[in-house]
Structure 1
């Protein structure tokens, strides 16, 4: 018999509705103890009064989900009440006083994994869906929620089992089973490695979808960096002035950019200065440039190139860059041809940030440089998943090494290790440490 857990499943605060969730063998009994209607049928919405020891507290809807046809695989009851704070707390505390236990972080979903209702990949997708900041994040999380990675992993696992079965047959029955050519085994192992590598390589793209990218706007003072920031954000975030050095510190803002979270950083103009406060801002700007995924390197079309431009070009030479020639609404002194000599083979875009001309070209260039990602190709998006697959690949690599020395028993052992890692993703054999790492990130009630 499993103990019965309870928690408020909706965010704390005032709203239209608040939900208390129960899961476990006594879920129905406990819910019936506070509800004035007889709960006979599963999946039926009962409306009635919710009371504590005969004192009405609220009205609400109670739904009973009979095991195994529930989220956790256990008996589950969800009590929907008015979205207050105290009324929900009073009912929850009473349920706990009658034998329920307050659920731990992510315990409802953890029980779903342990009862075979979902694998750890789908559990990770639940949290990703909740935390998604953009439309692309929602679409990726929802695609993973329907078991795409689990199905792909099962294909790899079955291949490992098939190869190992052939090897073990040769080892156990050397006189009855025909020996498998080494080249055939090598090809089979390479095919498995290829499948795993395809899964692993999608991890980096997934982090862009969920975590986003950092873009620094760099350039000497008064080239229009803050004006460009405001144009990209579509609202005035930075103070704009004709006085050089108005921005003395970094300004950061995260936006939903073509469905991806993008942090844009306006940096202070980098120059030599004796001002201590300004020096701190410039140093912070240098760090922002060094840690960004892309630099929008801004030049002023109305002024010629100078020493500061050249030094900053050298400082950012190893970075991914888009060259932006701003202030094209003013008489031109600096041209695209001149910049092309300093930045051969790099993207150069002419804009007027003040008039918001050419901004869409900058946006498209950013998208092409960083965000050309096919959501459907991403399967792995969690560090735990990445490490599990990497460990699996390590064992397959060792199996290949042992094959070269003719040690079939060691090849078989490495394949068993690899298969055990993949089989653990269903929750049947997974370690408690991994489960703890996954569900410690969840909220109570999920």
Structure 2
């Protein structure tokens, strides 16, 4: 924490930013940057970045100095705003390292912000979610976390647990000086806290759907219109469409956002009996993708109706959630569907771009996403936070069991302390070095 770190904080583009943070940030910047302006905090300076020994100009740039504590990390921070591309930012980075800075570890800027008390651990994880958001809903959810909505609720939960613990321990230490403990009142408070924790826990599934999205595989026999369906849905020509069976031989994907839910659509090779080795490899990949998908769109030719080949494909994916897509309805319908274990069925004419809206509505209903988009989520927890909250729920249940078993007050406090500790692990009030390493190693370098 005493050294000065540096990293390129922007992706490849027309503008690049190189960030320094630490006690020597200003000294390093002043050695590398030539400007006629005076160095003042939070003032943008114009000048040239130079190689100090030779005075060779590296770039014409802007520099922003942010004096401690008014910066992202609360340390002295300097940002070089230079031209983009692959070379200039790397040159400035190497000059900073040569002058004594160290290349930042993944997430180290945010780690320093946490360790200096600028943000808590839940807010730090929201920054990672914000950077990786795949939709506007994902951005809103991450911003809510960054603004402390989850942290505020959790601090209230932890404070209420501490109040109960204080009340119980007071009776242990000063039993003769205080009125008897109201067991029913304690039971009521514990029930309320457990219900709160369960409400927070229930946001995980919705949050994961908004953050990570849905993986949808389009499967079916050759020439039923799978690629046409992908092109119509994505409004692009991602997949080649011909009348020849077996045209698609590899996985073609498209990334969509439907009602705020990121969806990765995977068009797979048509599954059929063939001697073509390349086509066989494509079909094997199709089977694997279908097994890993969150939802399978089983496409059939409505004009031909249900065939033996359709039945064979259905047998391969019947353990997955399935939406049956009756495509080519513009050419006619053959009503011979057997009894199938499917979520829903929908009619489309992909070549005419008909039925796509109905397909989207069917998928959203299938995953209950309509309920998600109708709700204004204040926050949603992630997997790590869910594991901590589950321990909170379990600990509070064990306190109730200790009360029901008429165990001494000391036994009540054991599990109550576990609940308090688990909440603290989410916000960072109870944290270990290994936990921090685990969390921040998932960040990109530069954050």
TM-score range, shorter chain: 0.7 to 0.9
- Do the aligned partners of residues 235 and 92 (structure 1) sit closer, same or farther apart at CA in structure 2, a change above 3 Å counting? closer
Distance in 2, matches of 1:248 and 1:8, equals 40
What secondary structure is seen at the aligned counterpart in 2 of 1:174? coil
Q: Is the 8 A contact 1:215 1:264 kept in 2?
A: yes
- Aligned ranges 1:391-406 → 2 under 5 Å: 391-406=391-406
Distance in 2, matches of 1:169 and 1:148, equals 32
Distance in 2, matches of 1:176 and 1:289, equals 68
1:244 shift after superposition: 4.0
Unaligned residue ranges in structure 2 (runs of 5+): none
What secondary structure is seen at the aligned counterpart in 2 of 1:127? helix
Q: Does 1:144 align with 2:123?
A: no
Q: For 1:319-344, what per-residue CA distance to the aligned partner results, in whole angstroms no more than 9, with x for missing partners?
A: 43323222222243x14xx54x7359
1:239 shift after superposition: 3.2
Q: For 1:219-272, what per-residue CA distance to the aligned partner results, in whole angstroms no more than 9, with x for missing partners?
A: 344332232222212222333333444445544333333333212233344455
Q: Is the 8 A contact 1:32 1:39 kept in 2?
A: no
1:431 shift after superposition: 0.9
Unaligned residue ranges in structure 1 (runs of 5+): none
Q: Which residue of 2 aligns with 1:376?
A: 376
Q: For 1:10-61, what per-residue CA distance to the aligned partner results, in whole angstroms no more than 9, with x for missing partners?
A: 33x562x332222222222332333444645321223234442471524433
Distance in 2, matches of 1:125 and 1:253, equals 26
Q: Given the alignment, which residue of 20, 25, 29 partners 1:31?
A: 29
1:439 shift after superposition: 1.5
Q: Does 1:326 align with 2:327?
A: yes
Runs of 4+ deviating beyond 6 Å: none
What secondary structure is seen at the aligned counterpart in 2 of 1:118? coil
Q: Does 1:227 align with 2:224?
A: no
Q: Is the 8 A contact 1:23 1:77 kept in 2?
A: yes
1:87 shift after superposition: 4.2
Q: Does 1:431 align with 2:436?
A: no
Q: Given the alignment, which residue of 16, 21, 38 partners 2:19?
A: 21
Distance in 1, matches of 2:117 and 2:340, equals 57
Q: Which residue of 1 aligns with 2:346?
A: 349
What secondary structure is seen at the aligned counterpart in 1 of 2:32? coil
Q: Which residue of 2 aligns with 1:162?
A: 163
Distance in 2, matches of 1:197 and 1:151, equals 16
What secondary structure is seen at the aligned counterpart in 2 of 1:228? helix
Q: Is the 8 A contact 1:114 1:428 kept in 2?
A: no
Q: Is the 8 A contact 2:324 2:342 kept in 1?
A: no
Distance in 2, matches of 1:355 and 1:110, equals 52
Number of matched pairs: 440
Q: Given the alignment, which residue of 350, 362, 365 partners 2:362?
A: 365
What is the TM-score when the length of structure 1 is the normalising length? 0.87
Distance in 2, matches of 1:211 and 1:437, equals 19
What is the TM-score when the length of structure 2 is the normalising length? 0.87
Distance in 2, matches of 1:428 and 1:330, equals 64
Q: Is the 8 A contact 1:205 1:378 kept in 2?
A: no
Q: Does 1:129 align with 2:141?
A: no
- Do the aligned partners of residues 173 and 98 (structure 1) sit closer, same or farther apart at CA in structure 2, a change above 3 Å counting? same
Distance in 2, matches of 1:84 and 1:355, equals 42
CA RMSD for the aligned pairs?
A: 2.9
